[in-house]
Amino acid sequence: MTNLVPQKILHIALESDSPDLYPDAPYLSWYVVFWWHRIPLGHVELTRQQLPLSAKHLKQKAVRIIAPAIAAHLQEHKLVLPEITNLITQPVFDADDVLRQWEAPFLAWRQQRLAPESTSISVVICTRDRPDYVQECLRSLRCLSEPPDEIVVVDNAPSSDKTQKIVAQTPGIKYVLEPRPGLDFARNAGMQHSASELIAYTDDDVKVHPDWILQLRRAFREPGVMAVTGLVFAAELDTRSQYVFEKHWSFNRGYKPLIYDQAYFQKYRLVGVPAWRVGAGANMAFRRSLFAITGMFDERLDVGAAGCSGDSEMWYRVLAAGLLCRYDPTAVVHHSHRREMAGLHHQLFYYMRGHVTELLIRFERYSHWGNLVRLALLPVYFTYLLIFGWSRGKYRYNTILTEILGCLSGFKFYFLSKLNKIE
């Protein structure tokens, strides 16, 4: 156990009774997520030293944590959260009474949110030589409260027919073989072989929440929204590599809905717009009409076993075109982080390689100098981490060298690709 930094994940529905929490070997800490009426609203991390914690005090803590997210959701629909701020700042209060006061406006918001929506939607799963993951992902899709119009599995340069056989066992799934290796080849193939107005992408190592499609459809109600991302939880945090990834590279973008627009784009344009903040490729969707405006995913990105930059480069294009991206935390999936440190290093190498390549492609496409400024700031960023990384936890140092090597590989990859000598 000395090589592990495990964290136990617990999802609690606040409309039900909360549990008492006790130290639970071998877990060193708890990651507790609070849901209310099937909506995730916040989480707290608790160390063994903070336990035991009674159900009463846990619910009080939950109410304090979820208040900002509830207020943000209601505000979008011009509903008001009853003002009891002074009460919930008290050391002791009746959490159930507070929830009763909040419940009527919250359920009114939820009812508006769940009004029928008929826009067609296709789910695209891109995979490569991971048939067991695909099987679990498809199993979770069978449990959706509102099914998609179609599911497309894109088998990317497979070394066997195992994934094809798995898909063949599931009626109604469209199988697409994409022989060219690269995630964005697969994403583009999935778009071309789908037929719906909305295209939702997820990864093979993901299990979707039953309301995922229901919430994605409703996130597109505003006509100007062309791209939507959702909340990504870790499926488990049982190993050191999973813990490190969640601590420093988490896909969780919070519990408040966010709109990324021209104001956001212009705010960061001179230093390179951090489009990756919009969300994660494991939980994203686009209007089909967007691709006629921006073009398809750039197939130079995400070439290799891992990567994350084809998605953020697309979000950059959405914003550069004056269109809107929405982050909607009600659309939830659970992602299985890599369990071994070797796998994490491999992943982060390609993340940083993709990041550098993406910034160079942005400049190539738009001549926005802020992207080169961000590249020039990378040595400053890594110097800061080397000096002050301890403040982010002792495990932050573990991957810095890998990240630096990934960045250098990104420069090499981009310029070789310009010479048609892609590695």
Q: Are residues 225 and 129 in the same domain?
A: yes
Lowest-pLDDT choice from 17-31, 74-88, 224-238, 349-363:
74-88
CA 127 from centroid of its chain's CA atoms? 17
Pairwise CA distance, residues 97 & 103, whole Å: 10
Q: Are the beta carbons of 198 and 285 closer than 8 angstroms?
A: yes
Question: Is the pTM of the predicted complex or chain greater than 0.85?
Answer: yes
Q: pLDDT of 351-377, one tens digit each? A: 999 999 999 999 999 999 999 999 999
Q: Is 231 exposed, middle or buried (0-12, 13-18, 19+ CB in 10 A)?
A: buried
pLDDT above 60: residue 421: no
- Considering the domain boundaries, does residue 1 fall inside one? no
pLDDT above 50: residue 1: no
- Considering the domain boundaries, does residue 264 fall inside one? yes
Q: Residue 397: give the domain boundaries.
A: 343-418
Average pLDDT over the chain, rounded to whole? Answer: 91
Tally of domains within the chain: 3
Give residue 420's pLDDT.
67
Q: Are residues 281 and 378 in the same domain?
A: no
Q: Is 417 helix (H, G, I), strand (E, B) or coil?
A: helix
Q: pLDDT of 193-205, one tens digit each? A: 999 999 999 999 9
Tell me what the mean pLDDT of segment 213-227 comes to: 94
Q: Is 173 helix (H, G, I), strand (E, B) or coil?
A: strand
CA 35, 36, 39 angle in degrees (round to 5)?
Answer: 70
Q: Are residues 321 and 380 in the same domain?
A: no
- Picking from 306, 341, 376, the residue at the C-terminal end of a domain is 341
